[in-house]
Structures are given as structure tokens and as C-alpha cells.
Amino acid sequence: MAEEPKPQLIRGRIDVCELDRARMSLLNPQLIEQKRESRTIDENAKPLLELTMREGIETVWDRFEMQQPPCKYCESGLSCARCAMGPCRIIPPHRIRGVCGADADLIVARNLLDMIATGAAAHSDHGRDIAETLYLFGQGKAEDYGIADPEKLEILCTEYGIAVTGKTPKQLAAELGLAMLEEYGMVKNTLAFLNRAPKATREMWDQAGITPRGIDREVVDSMHRVQMGVGADYTNMLLQGLRCGLSDGWGGSMIGTEVSDVLFGTPTINKSKVNLAVLKADEVNISVHGHNPMLSEMVVKAIRDPEMQALAQKNGAKGINLVGLCCTGNELLMRKGIPMSGNHLNQELVIATGALEAMIVDYQCIFPSLPRTASCYHTLVISTSSKATIPGSYFFDFKAENAYLTAKAIVRMAVENYKNRNPQRVLIPGAPVEVMAGFSNEAIKKALGGSFKPLIDLIAAGKIRGAVGIVGCNNPKIRHDFGHVTLAQELIKKNILCVETGCAAIASGKAGLLQPEAASLAGDDLRAVCESLGIPPVLHMGSCVDNSRILVLAAGLANALNVPIHKLPIAGAAPEWYSQKAVSIGGYFVASGVFTVLGVMPKIGGSPAVVSLLTEGLKGAVNASFAVEPDPARAAGLIVNHIEQKRTGLGI
Ligand code: BF8
């Protein structure tokens, strides 16, 4: 029998708690009380936030405050540090060009394209890891995995032009995996999933010259244009940003979503629980944080292993409690109903419960400071991706080929850490909130009786005025969860259905909006629809790569009506975004024809020309644009107007 792998401690144990606490211990009780309220609307987070401030345990909010005020040139996108002739800043009236000659418009556009390419690369590389797992499984090299949705495997093969008759699921997995991997380093110059978009939308992309070619190619093309002496025209740079975004949304992210469904199951409607109180005082608590379900699905298997259960009992625990965080948590919530402990700004607070034995991370959205936080407790931070080794963490080189054995070794380490917990320091505030999740397009269709037609009829009859995708992160610039929750509440009141992913969906879950009972908060018509179907007015559609499900939903509605996506009464919103990945998502929403409202201003204010192109000019190319509105109630107003205009355009 193969031996379980051993971890490698990256750069030695970090033990900075006392230092941090000495540095952070200046707060007075009034200030603590004020910050506890102003930093978050998450009621279960508040007592823990208070504890971190009282005990001087540094959090993201403290670091944000210490970074104030920001450099105003960086904030408006007017600084450039790309090459060794700089760094440069644009300071009118005299410093109006960088050393290379780039003006404000070019510097802002170059910075923005860099952000989009970074975000698209992250999503798409995650998709590649999943496609590679499918390929390796097909080749018999990743036997811990299996095919959970053989029907979807065949549907995808057909979309990719792969004959299915007479082939085993393994053969199909190998062929489909390879065909998808080939779309990264492309020779055929088109992506299979683009065919899901309405013909008129594809023609619009062709006309604007933004039809994506290979997935990697668009990222590399973008980075090429960002190189000094290449891209010189801001419009050209930003159109490439849209093309790069499209290669993420209709390419890498869609591959990530669809293949994860094949390997781990297409989500069906389920019930679970969410918020920091999903941790249990008498069990081993393990959180999985990051994005890629390759690892977290194996951890689910490993905690159910009788050997691990027995080990937990031997260590004095009643059992093993696995909880999710951020998007890898969304993947598990959607498919397995695993409870969700929180979103982006909850990640340090989960450790501050004092009840977490291990935080297992893969990649993306993981604060590099987590081992510092963990050093104030017994918590182990366990990193698992060679792309994201974290100083102070225990690293296991997790690969598809050694998946289960590695997951078991990780769970063993967590369980054996239970005895190091100090029960005096455990604080698990309040009670969890129930949620209904698992709204894949397949699950939505099933709830509607087999097709999108009833939804289209309801929209046409005005019972549902339209649909809005609320997506993205938390950002300490915005009171935690306030943007998401307020926007969703305002929209459902106006009979607009919300579909959500990522940290937005988790925020809604914590606020009770993902329960069928939340229908009572909706306008009369939407309430009646939700009550008759037994569903919430806010539907959880998954992780951030699952924004591709929102694209497929939009395409499904547009195809049924025989119109391009931009004619639909729909919109997108990212009220609390922070990540480069969110900029890529915004790019592909708008490029697909979806008006998108951002709650945080991107770093573009230094170029009125770029601002005008993104908020107005793009309409000429893709019939959609961005808006920026930090006030969620006002953002709802913009969206309602937009949806009513689109309804008028359709004559409904
Ligand atoms: O991919 S919503 S903070 S966890 S980036 Fe990150 Fe933003 Fe959360 Fe998921 Ni998406």
C-alpha cells in the first residue's frame, strides 16, 4: 500500500501573535463598538470582530485602515511601474506623459488590461486543472476520481464534435479532456462553447473583432499589448480586454464549471446551513478555502473514511465537521450540501472562533497572512497547490494522481490537532441560517417543469420583470455584505429575480435571502411565483467560475426568444468586488451584452476618455456598458430603469 505523503513546512513556523497583539492593542472600547458595527452587517461576525480588536489580532479591516490614505495616482490608475525607465506618474500640467511617452489614457488602459488578463488567467487556469483531471482520469492515471454525470459527459462530447457511440465513459473523458486542453493553446482559433451564444451575439463579437481565439492566447496577447512599446491606443487595449474576458467566461470558466459537474455531479436543489456558527464545539472542524473542487471533493471523501472517524473519536471529538469558505465552499455547498462558514472577509474570523483545527487552502482569495492569524490559535494552515505555497503553512503537493491519499493525510493532521484546542478560547457566536442552494441551470429547468419556457412566459407576462446576476467579492472599502444584501433586497421588492454566485451568494445566504421564506420580502408578483415553486427569490448558482452558468442561462433565454443577449431585460452587478477575476467577469458580462453596475470604482478615474468609453462608448461595439454606483439602493434604481427599457424594446 502506498504511504501517505508528509507535509513540508514552508519557511518555518510563523509565530507572530504576541508581536501583532502588542502592535494592535491601542483600541478603546468605544472605538471597538463603533468598528464592530461599521465594518460588517454579518451578525455572527460582529462578536468575533470585537474579539479580534480586543485581543489585538490583526484583520483585513485593520490592514485596510493602516493603508489609508491611498496614493491618489495609483487610485486613479495614473501610475505606471511596468518598466525600468519608470516608475512614472501623470501629474498635470507638466508631467503629462510617462518616460516612454504614454499618456493618462494609455497608462489607465494598460493597467486595466493587465487586471483583466490576470483575472482571466486565474479562472482559466483553474478550468485547465479540472480539464486535466478529466483527461488523466480518462487515461487511468487519476483513479480516485470518477464520472458523476455521464449524461453531461456525452452532451459535452457532442458539443465538441466527439462521437460517443460505443465508447466507455473513460474513453470519452480522455477525448473530451484533450479537446478542452487543446482550446487553451489553440490551433483551430475558436472555442466550442461560443456556439452556445445566440447567433446575433456571435455576429456582434465578430463585427467588433473580439471573438476569442485560444484561451491562453487571449491572456498572452493581452500581456503582449501591455509590454512597453506595443499597445499605444487605449481603445484597442480595452477591446482586447473584452476579448480576453470572453475567453474566460465562455472558455476557461465554462470548462471549469461543466467538467466539475461531470466529475462531481451537476448541482440539484438542496438545503444546508451558512455562517460562522456552522462550526461545532465538540467536533473536529476543518474548513476548505479557495476555489478548486478537485481537492475539496477528496476531503469530503476522506472525512467520511471510517478510519478518520474512529481517529476523531479516539482524540476525544464527536466527529469531523467539514465547512466551506469562499468559492471552494460554494462548490461543495452546491453539489454536496456541505455547510458554508462564510465569504471573503470571514476568512480570518473562522480562525478566531478558536475551534478550527485546520484551514485547507488551494488557490485564489487566500490572505497570505492566514498563518499569522493562525499563530494566535492552534489552527494549522495547510496549503496544497504548488502555485500557492504560503510561508508558515504546511504544504502538501496535491495532484490528481495522488488525490485521496493526500486528502487523507491532511484530514489525519487536522484530527490529531483537536487535542491542541483550548476550549476556553472557543467562541462560536449565534446559530446558523438555513439556505436552499444548488440552482444549476439543469436544476432551475427541472423546478420549472423541464424547460426555461415558464420563466420566459413569466417575464413576458411581467410577473418577473427581469433577472439580475449579483456576483463578486467583499471589499473592506464597503461595509461587509451591505452592498450585496441591500441590492438584492431592493431588486426582489421590484419583482426582479436575482441569481447569485461567489461571495455575493454567501452574503445573501447569511441574510436569509436564500430561503423560500424570503419570498415574503419580494414584490407581490415575484412572491407568488416563488411560493408556487417553493423557491427563494434569490437563487444560488455557484462559485465564481459558475458565472458561466449565468451566461448559459442568458443564452438559453435569448435563444428561446430568438434575440441577442443584449435585448433581454437582465443586468449584472458586482457591489463589493475586489479581485482581478471580478474585472474579467465584468468584461465578459458587458461583452456578452449585459449592462453591469460596479459598487467599487475601478482604478480608471484618471482618464475621462477611458471612463467614457466603458460607461458609454462600448454600447457602439457590444450594446452594453458599465456603470459605477457605490450606493446599492441607487444601483437598484439604475438596474430597474435598464430592465424596463429592455422590456419596452421587446414590446413586453
Ligand atoms: O472567485 S467572489 S472574493 S472567493 S474572487 Fe474571491 Fe471574489 Fe469571493 Fe471566489 Ni470570486
pLDDT digits (tens, 9 = 90+) for 441-489: 999 999 999 999 999 999 999 999 999 999 999 999 999 999 999 999 9
The Cα–Cα gap between 632 and 636 comes to 6
- Nearest residue (CA) to ligand 1, atom 6: 365
* Contacts (Cβ under 8 Å, ≥6 apart) of 145: 133, 137, 263, 400, 403
Q: Which of 344, 484, 548, 600 to mutate to test the pocket of ligand 1 (most atoms within 8 A of CB)?
A: 344
The per-residue pLDDT of the chain, averaged, comes to: 97
Ligand 1 atom with the smallest distance to the CA of 364 is 6
Does the pLDDT of residue 128 top 90, yes or no?
Answer: yes
58-65 average pLDDT score: 96
* Contacts (Cβ under 8 Å, ≥6 apart) of 142: 133, 136, 400, 401, 403
- Nearest residue (CA) to ligand 1, atom 4: 326
Three-state secondary structure call for residue 411: helix
Q: How far is the CA of 423 from the centre of ligand 1 (A)?
A: 32
Does the pLDDT of residue 150 top 80, yes or no?
Answer: yes
Q: How far is the CA of 501 from the centre of ligand 1 (A)?
A: 9
Q: Give 518's DSSP letter.
A: G
Q: What is the helix, strand, coil percentage profile of the chain, to 5?
A: 55, 10, 35
- 301: number of CA atoms within 13 Å, CB side? 17
Q: Quick check: 551 and 447 in contact, CB under 8 A?
A: no
Q: How far is the CA of 38 from the centre of ligand 1 (A)?
A: 22
In percent, the amount of the chain with pLDDT more than 90 equals 95
Residue 142 has which C-alpha cell? Answer: 487519476
Ligand 1 atom with the smallest distance to the CA of 365 is 6
Q: How far is the CA of 544 from the centre of ligand 1 (A)?
A: 6
Q: Quick check: 229 and 258 in contact, CB under 8 A?
A: no
Name every protein residue with a CB atom under 6 angstroms from any ligand 1 atom: 291, 326-327, 343-344, 365, 472-473, 502-503, 543-544, 579, 581-582
The Cα–Cα gap between 55 and 51 comes to 6
Q: How far is the CA of 328 from the centre of ligand 1 (A)?
A: 10
- Nearest residue (CA) to ligand 1, atom 3: 473
**Listed range (16-20, 220-224, 230-234) with the worst mean pLDDT:** 16-20
Ligand 1 atom with the smallest distance to the CA of 471 is 2
H or E element in which residue 381 lies: strand 380-383
- Res 188: pLDDT: 79
Does the pLDDT of residue 20 top 90, yes or no?
Answer: no
Q: How far is the CA of 396 from the centre of ligand 1 (A)?
A: 23
Could you give the residue ranges of the DSSP H alpha helices within 26-90? Answer: 29-39, 45-55, 60-66, 72-75
Q: Which of 292, 327, 506, 585 to mutate to test the pocket of ligand 1 (most atoms within 8 A of CB)?
A: 327
- Res 1: pLDDT: 63
Q: Which of 365, 471, 500, 541 to mutate to test the pocket of ligand 1 (most atoms within 8 A of CB)?
A: 365
Does the pLDDT of residue 24 top 80, yes or no?
Answer: no
Rounded to the nearest 5°, which phi and psi values hold at 342? 165, 180
133-139 average pLDDT score: 98
Ligand 1 atom with the smallest distance to the CA of 502 is 2
- Nearest residue (CA) to ligand 1, atom 10: 544
Q: Is 85 exposed, middle or buried (CB count within 10 Å of its CB: 0-12, 13-18, 19+)? A: exposed
